[in-house]
């Protein structure tokens, strides 16, 4: 007579016993008990189904947990797009990350330590913006670029007054949002002038009347119109009388030699704009934010009107954004600036080194010259010389599923890992991610 084997499900450890396992203590402190408990319960179910051994429950539960208490994962951007919207656009500098750590706790974001009373909000970040943009007499920050423009329309024209803008600048931005709909949603009236391809100074002059709130110039940002075209410059519009508001889009504060057609805040104010709006998480290289910069006496007064407008409270930024923005503007060069300024020959040397190391491991890798782009709705048509490691096409999906995930691009039947938007410090991690892709068995 043989004794039946005991039901292995009886050997599955109780939940409280697994949660008390020292191997899970760090995860509990990092992620919280409820999340760890869910992982433990899932591992217990695997043990009861016979997919893992009962003694493996704690280890399997721990291995399934993320490194941080967020579903967002860090991704290596090897796409060749410097400001990839799906990857959160601008990566923050180390200085900005450090500033986030300071602001994450209790801080003097709105406290005057000398008096112990309430103080002005974001003083240092706003001062950094004014210092970085010659001609900026005033600055304020909203939560994104669209919010900055919407606030200007609501505060200056939201009582049914007119915003005069060229038909050629009534653009659609990301995710189907359109400038004319954004303007009209604030209560302002849209007064389009000119045609899609040609607008003249006389078109603006003829539209100005007692209901005109301001003249709006919108930089197209994500497309270029060429051929039989005509547009009116800010300097000419400034002579017509009404305030001139310019949405430059990408957040370039001062000119960059690789981006001669991209408007910058300092140059736009120098041309006579009263207000400039822009994004903070694009070419500026900082956190998501909407910048308002006022030039001269009238511009500064308009910024104050926007700041005091009731809706501004709903669109202001938090302490984390203010801290990261200040560090991005006043601190060392941002990653975006370093990507823009990268030496193509140095990029090719990195690609050669990476490819050679991967070939030595038996991986089909080659170095190749490529062309990168700015992205983020900025500098359309600008080509940035770059270099990449080329792998078999199947690596594209495998690398996205890896840890860390790597986003490359596919071209000519190869997976290209472009280095223009990756710092040299990421090369070893990138090579490790490639090596971790399972070798396809011979067929």
For residues 152 and 182, the answer to whether their CB atoms sit within 8 Å is no
* pLDDT above 50 (res 318): yes
At 306, the pLDDT band (50, 70, 90 cuts) reads very high
Domain ranges within the chain, ordered by starting residue: 8-63, 76-85+338-435, 93-332
Q: Which tens digit of pLDDT belongs to each residue from 394-425? A: 999 999 999 999 999 999 999 999 999 999 99
Burial 245-259 (b: 16+ CB within 10 A, else e): bbbbbbbbbeeeeeb
Contact 168, 195 (CB under 8 A): yes
Residue in 91, 429, 58 with CA at minimum distance from that of residue 288: 91
Q: What integer pLDDT is reported at residue 1 of this predicted model?
A: 44
Greater model confidence, 311 or 172:
311
Q: Name, in order, each residue with C-beta under 8 angstroms of 47's C-beta and a sequence gap of 6 or more.
A: 8, 9, 12, 53, 54, 56, 57
Q: Are 366 and 389 in contact (CB under 8 A)?
A: yes
Q: What is the pLDDT of residue 376?
A: 84
Predicted confidence (pLDDT) at residue 284 exceeds the cutoff of 50 = yes
Q: To the nearest whole percent, how much of the chain has pLDDT over 70? A: 97
Q: What is the pLDDT of residue 5?
A: 56
- What is the Cα gyration radius of the chain? 27
Residue labelled with tokens 């090719």: 348
pLDDT value at position 71? 87
- Contact between residue 109 and residue 317 where contact means Cβ atoms under 8 Å apart: no
Residue 441's pLDDT band (cuts 50, 70, 90) = low
Q: What is the domain class of 76-85+338-435 according to CATH?
A: alpha beta
User: What's the average model confidence in pLDDT over 122-132?
Assistant: 96
The answer to whether residue 111 scores a pLDDT higher than 60 is: yes
Average pLDDT, the chain: 94
Question: What count of residues does the chain have?
Answer: 443
What separation, in Å, do the N-terminal and C-terminal C-alpha atoms of the chain show? 50
Beta bridge partners of 407: 77
Q: Smallest Cα–Cα separation from 282: which of 168, 146, 184? A: 146
* Choice among 4-8, 73-77, 143-147, 437-441 with the minimum mean pLDDT: 4-8
Q: Which region among 91-100, 126-135, 378-387 has the lowest average model confidence (pLDDT)?
A: 378-387
SS in 3 state form for 251-293?
Answer: CCCCCCCCCCCCCCHHHHHHCCCCEEEEECCCCCCCCCCEEEE
* Whether pLDDT at 317 is above 90: yes
Beta strands in 194-259 (DSSP E): 212-218, 244-249
pLDDT of residue 442 exceeding 50, the answer is no
* CA dist 244 → 141, 161, 202, 272 (Å): 19, 15, 16, 8
Q: pLDDT grade, residue 227 (50/70/90)?
A: confident
State pTM to two decimals.
0.91
Nearest to 393 by CA among 365, 362, 421: 365
Q: What is the pLDDT of residue 439?
A: 79
Could you tell me which residues come within 8 angstroms of residue 260 by beta carbon, excluding any fewer than 6 positions away? none
Give pLDDT tens digits for 327-368.
999 999 999 999 999 999 999 999 999 999 999 999 999 999
Fold category of 93-332 in CATH: 3.40.640
pLDDT of residue 3: 55
What pLDDT is attached to residue 18? Answer: 94
Place of tokens 């009347």: 209
Tell whether the model's pLDDT for residue 58 goes beyond 50: yes
């Amino acid at each position: 007579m043989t004794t039946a084997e005991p039901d292995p499900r009886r050997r599955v450890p109780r939940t409280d016993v697994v949660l008390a396992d020292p191997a899970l203590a760090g995860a509990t402190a990092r992620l919280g008990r409820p999340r760890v408990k869910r992982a433990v319960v899932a591992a217990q179910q695997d043990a009861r189904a016979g997919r893992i051994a009962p003694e493996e429950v704690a280890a399997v539960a721990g291995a399934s947990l993320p490194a941080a208490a967020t579903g967002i994962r860090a991704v290596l951007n090897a796409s060749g797009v410097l400001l990839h919207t799906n990857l959160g656009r601008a990566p923050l500098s180390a200085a900005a990350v450090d500033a986030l750590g300071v602001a994450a706790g209790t801080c003097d974001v709105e406290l005057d330590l000398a008096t112990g009373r309430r103080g002005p909000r974001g003083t240092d970040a706003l001062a950094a913006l004014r210092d970085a943009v010659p001609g900026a007499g005033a600055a304020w920050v909203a939560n994104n670029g669209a919010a900055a423009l919407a606030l200007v329309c609501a505060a200056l024209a939201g009582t049914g007054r007119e915003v005069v803008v060229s038909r050629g600048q009534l653009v659609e931005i990301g995710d189907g949002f359109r400038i004319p709909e954004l303007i009209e949603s604030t209560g302002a009236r849209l007064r389009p002038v000119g045609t899609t391809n040609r607008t003249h100074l006389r078109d603006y002059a003829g539209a100005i009347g007692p209901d005109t709130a301001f003249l709006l110039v919108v930089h197209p940002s994500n497309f270029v119109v060429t051929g039989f075209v005509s547009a009116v410059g800010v300097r000419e519009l400034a002579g017509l009388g009404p305030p001139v508001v310019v949405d430059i889009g990408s957040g370039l504060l001062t000119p960059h030699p690789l981006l001669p057609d991209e408007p910058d805040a300092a140059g736009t104010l120098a041309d006579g704009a009263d207000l400039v709006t822009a994004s903070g998480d694009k070419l500026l290289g900082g956190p998501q934010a909407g910048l308002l910069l006022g030039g001269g006496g009238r511009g500064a007064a308009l910024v104050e009107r926007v700041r005091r407008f009731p809706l501004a409270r709903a669109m202001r930024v938090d302490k984390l954004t203010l801290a990261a923005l200040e560090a991005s503007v006043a601190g060392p060069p941002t990653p975006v600036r370093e990507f823009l300024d990268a030496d193509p020959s140095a990029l090719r040397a990195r690609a050669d080194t990476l490819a050679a190391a991967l070939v030595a491991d038996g991986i089909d890798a080659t170095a190749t010259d490529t062309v990168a782009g700015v992205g983020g709705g900025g500098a359309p048509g600008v080509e940035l010389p770059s270099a990449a490691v080329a792998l078999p096409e199947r690596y594209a999906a495998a690398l996205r599923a890896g840890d860390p995930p790597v986003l490359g691009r596919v071209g000519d039947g190869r997976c290209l890992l472009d280095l223009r938007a990756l710092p040299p410090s990421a090369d070893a991690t990138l090579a490790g991610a490639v090596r971790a892709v399972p070798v396809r068995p011979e067929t």
